[in-house]
Amino acid sequence: MLKKIFTPRIIYIAGIILAAALFRLVPHWPNFTPVAAIALFGGACLNKRYLAFLIPLTALFISDLILGFHGMMGWVYTGFIITACIGLLLKKRITPLTVTGASLLSSVIFFLLTNFGAWIASPIYPDSFAGLVECYVAGLAFFHDGSYGISFFMNEILGSLFYNTILFGSLYLVSRRFPALAKV
């Protein structure tokens, strides 16, 4: 039973997901992290559905134990789970174009979801559609003074694209050299 779970492919994927999660601990531009990438990668590349959620969520949780938790964690983890679901839909169609599209889609969903959570939780914005729009506009401009990268939202997109290129690209290249890592 354990032999079927701990295949070389799963061990490799789990290892690079954990390594990517550790990159959250090194200095970086705000939101330029591998968070969305590890969810998308896990969903798309782990053969067992429960592992597609368990391994990336565990890696995120371990890094959050070190970084600390905040009031928006429920929204962040919900976005993470949705991104893993997008990865599941991507599973049989992994190409550079589909990974790029899924990266962009997951970044937009994460932005919409977490800013919606900020609107609900913050007394700054009115409880109206106009308040929600104000929150989204503020989210687009957040940290837009240049010292923190391009912007919080663009950092998310660029981070997802960068880390997805690393994760999906490394699996592709390594599986060409070691066929045991290719999909079964």
- pLDDT tens by residue, 96-119: 999 999 999 999 998 899 889 989
Residue 99 CB burial class (10 angstroms; 0-12, 13-18, ≥19): buried
Asked if residue 141 is part of any domain, the answer here is: yes
**Could you list the residue range(s) of the whole structural domain that residue 56 is in?**
2-176
Residue 103: half-sphere exposure toward Cβ, Cα within 13 Å? 29
Asked if residue 184 is part of any domain, the answer here is: no
Asked if residue 181 is part of any domain, the answer here is: no
Asked if residue 105 is part of any domain, the answer here is: yes
Domain count of the fold of the chain: 1
The torsion angles phi and psi of 38, rounded to 5 degrees, stand at: -70, -30
Asked if residue 100 is part of any domain, the answer here is: yes
**pLDDT tens digits, one per residue of 25-40:** 887 777 788 888 999 9
Asked if residue 182 is part of any domain, the answer here is: no
pTM: 0.87
Asked if residue 183 is part of any domain, the answer here is: no
Task: Report how far residue 116's alpha carbon sits from residue 75's, in angstroms, rounded to the nearest whole number.
Answer: 9
